[in-house]
Structure 1
Amino acid sequence: MIEILSSGALNSVQDRGRRGLLSSGVCRSGAMDIQALDVANALVGNDRDAAAIEVAAFPFRLRFPDRAAVAVTGAIAGARLAGRRLPPWWATEALAGDELTIDPPTVGARVYVAVGGGIDVPPLLGARATDLKSGYGGHEGRGLRRGDRLPLGPRSPGKLPDGGIGALPPPGRDVADRPLRVLPAAEWPEFSEAARELFVTEGWRVTAEADRQGCRLDGPELIRERRRELLSHGIVPGTVQVPPSGRPIIQLAEANTCGGYPKIATVIEADLWRLGQAMPGDTLRFAVVSRDEALAALGETAGWLDRLRSAAALYRVP
C-alpha cells in the first residue's frame, strides 16, 4: 500500500494501455511515455504490464507505510526519498514511513513512479490504465488526490542493493533535437509537394492545446491539392491530422478512435515517448522513414529493454 500526500488531477495510474480495442471505440489510454514506464518497471522487477503512477502535476508526494522498491524515470526532475536526492532513472528501497517528493521537471513533462509489485487496482478491459477523458479504469477512473491509498501486488523476490541501481535512458533519448520519425499516411499524396516539403523542413511549435488526447502544432499552413470530403476513419496514437486551419494535430494516448480530418503522417511507435515529454513552446521536427526503419527502431528499444531486465535481475539480492 502507498498513500498519496500531495497530487494534482493530471496524475494517474497508468500501464501500457488497452490494446486491440480501437475497432470497438476504446482508446488505448496508458502511459504517454511507455519507454519510461517500461524502464521503471524493469528496475523494480515488475512485469511489463504492471501499473505505475504517471506524474504530470507537481509537486507530488507519497508515503510508503511499508518497505518497498521504487523507481523514478521519465522527465528530469528533483526527486527525494526520505530527504535524500535520487539520481535520474533510479531505483532504490524505500523504508516504512519514507516519503517520496518529486519537484517540477527541468527537462520533459512527465515522471513515472513504479513500485515493486505494481499498483494493484482492478483491471478493466484488459488493463489498469486510467482513461481520464472517459472516467474509467485506474483508481476510481480519476486523477489521484491527497489521501488516496493504492494497493500493491506481490513484489519480485529479493531486494535492491544498498544505494539502489540506475539505468541510462533507452537509445535515442540523449539526442534532444532528433526529428520525430513518421510514416506517410493515407492522404499524404493529396498534399501539395510544397506542403510535404514544409512538413519535414519546418520546426513546429507545440501550443498550449496539448494534453493526453493530443497536441496542436503551430507553423505554416499545409495545403491539400486535392480537396474532398472524408468519412470518419480510424486513427491511432501518433496520427498526424491536418484540419482546415492547415496546422497539424497529433493524436495521443486518449485520442478518439476515429476522425474525419486528412492524415498526412503517423509518428512511429518508437518515437511516441517524445510527444509524451513535449511541453508547450517546444519545437518538433519530422523526418519520413520506411516501414522497415520503423520496425527496426521498435526492435532496438525492445532488445535494449530485455537486456536491462536481465541486468536488473542480477542486482536483486536475497
Structure 2
Amino acid sequence: MSFLVVEQIGPMATVQDLGRKGLHHAGVSSSGPMDIPSFRIANALVGNGENSAAIEFAGTGGSFSVVKPVRIAVTGGGVDIRLGKQRLLPWESYVLLPGDVLAIGALRDCVWGYLAISGGVDVVPVLGSRATHVRTGLGGHEGRRLQAGDRLPLGDASAGANLALRQPWRRSGGPIRIVSGPQDDYFSVETRRAFLKASFVVSPARDRMAQMLDGHVVHAEGAHDIVSDGTCAGSIQVPASGRPIVLMAERQTTGGYPKIATVATVDLPRLAQIPSGRTVCFASISQENAEELLIAERSALRQRLATLVEKPETYDVSGGLPS
C-alpha cells in the first residue's frame, strides 16, 4: 500500500472531498472544501476524479514524503513550494519520489490551499464521504486535523503526464454578491440599505464553520432570535451583537438567528479566500442571476479542466521515471 507521510503540518489541515450530500435532515453537515474550484483543479492536475480526497490547509501547508512515486499538485493561490532545493509552482503537477520531501510554505494573499496526490487520500468513507468534520470528529483521518507523524493511505495512481493550467484560474472582483433573505423581513428597509452601503472587515475569528464580519453593526428590528430553521452555505446570520456571521463549509445545519441574506454560491470561495483584516462589501442580486452566474462559472471551469496543458516532461508514476 502507498502512503503519504506527514512530516510537518500547519494548524488547520484536514482531509476533504466534495462533502456529504443529502444528510442535512439528519443534522449532518456537508463539510467539503472551502474553495471548490481550487480543490477540483488540484485533483484534475494529478489525474484524479473530481471527488477524490485531498488535503486542505489554511495559512501554512507543511512537509510531506511518500513510500512510492506519486504526482502532486498544490492550488489555492500563491505559495512557496519546494522539492528539496527545487522550487515548484502552484497550479501545476510534479512527481514526488521516495526519499524526497515536499515542503509547502505560507499562502500569499489567500487563506485556503489544496494538496492533491495521484490516487487520492484513501481513508475509509463515513456516511458516503471522506470529508473531515472536525467539530463532530466525523470522517477524514480519525475525524481530526492532521498532525505530524500521520500516514495517510493513498489509492492506486495511474500513469500519466504532469499537467498545468493553460491560463491561471482567476476569481472575479468587486463586491461579494448576495441574495436577500430568507429572513430579510426581520430588518428594516433602512437597515438593509445600510448593509449594502457598508464596508465590513473580515475578522480573524474564522474557521471552517463560519466567518465573522466586523465594522458595521447590523440591527434586526424584528428580533435577533427566530425559531431555528435550516441553514445553507453562505447564510449571513445576525446575532444580538450585530456582527454578521457567514456560515461556511462546516456549518451547523440549523440556526436560530435571522439571516439577512445569503452569499451567492459563485462568490463563496472568493469570500473564503479573503485574508483577515481585509475589507469587503456586498451587492444584492436576484436568485435567478445567482443561478446563472454559478452555471457560467461551472461551465468555464469544465472548459479549463478539459484544456490542461501537458508539461514538457511526462512521468510514469508507477516507476517514477520519465516516459
Same fold, TM-score > 0.5, yes or no: yes
CA contact (8 A) 1:12 1:130 kept: yes
**C-alpha separation in 1, matches of 2:15 and 2:277:** 27
Partner secondary structure for residue 181 of structure 1: strand
Instruction: Provide, for residues 129-152 of structure 1, a one-character-per-residue CA deviation record: whole Å limited to 9, x for no partner.
Output: 011111120011111111111111
Query: Which of 94, 114, 118 in structure 2 is aligned with 1:92?
Result: 94
Q: Percentage identity across aligned positions? A: 39
Equivalent AA in structure 2 for residue 106 of structure 1: R
Deviations 1:262-282 (A, max 9, x none): 010111111111232232212
Mapped to 1, the partners of 2:294 and 2:252 lie a distance apart of: 24
Whole-angstrom distance in 2 between the partners of 1:209 and 1:77: 23
- 1:183 equivalent to 2:182? Answer no
Q: Residue deviations 1:51-105, cap 9 Å, x none? A: 1001115251001222111111003111112322222322122233222111112
Match of 2:280 in 1: 284
What's the counterpart of residue 250 of structure 1? 246
Name the SS for the 2:218 alignment partner. Answer: coil
Q: What amino acid is the match of 2:195?
A: F
Equivalent positions of 1:2-151 (< 5 A) are 2-58=4-60, 60-151=62-153
How far is 1:118 from its partner? 0.8
Q: CA deviation at 1:167?
A: 5.0
Give per-residue Cα distances to partners, 1:228-260, cap 9 Å, x unaligned.
852111011110011112221111111111111
Query: Where in structure 2 are there 5+ consecutive unaligned residues?
Result: 316-322
Aligned to 1:165: 164
Gaps of at least 5 residues in structure 1 are none
SS of the aligned residue for 2:136 comes to coil
Residue of structure 2 equivalent to 1:216: 212
Q: Is the alpha carbon distance of 1:114 and 1:191 closer, same or farther for their aligned partners in structure 2, counting shifts above 3 Å?
A: same
**Residue type at the aligned position of 2:164:** I
Counterpart of 2:319 in structure 1 is: none
Match of 1:232 among 220, 228, 244: 228
Asked whether the 8 Å contact 1:77–1:107 carries over to 2, the reply is no
Give the TM-score taking structure 2 as reference length: 0.90
Among candidates 250, 255, 258, match of residue 259 of structure 1: 255
Letter in 1 for 2:301: L
- Alpha-carbon separation, structure 2, partners of 1:167 and 1:110: 22
Q: Which has the higher strand share?
A: 2
Residues 167 and 251 (structure 1 numbering): CA distance in 2 closer, same or farther, change over 3 Å?
farther
> TM-score if structure 1 supplies the norm length?
0.92
Specify which of 201, 204, 221 is matched with residue 200 of structure 2.
204
- What is the count of residue pairs matched by the alignment? 312
What's the RMSD between the two structures over aligned residues? 2.0
Secondary structure of the 1:155 match is: coil
Range with greater deviation from structure 2 (8-17 or 224-233) = 224-233
SS at match of 2:185: helix
User: Are the structure 2 counterparts of residues 158 and 29 from structure 1 closer, same or farther at C-alpha, using a change threshold of 3 Å?
Assistant: same
Greater shift after overlay, 194-203 or 227-236? 227-236
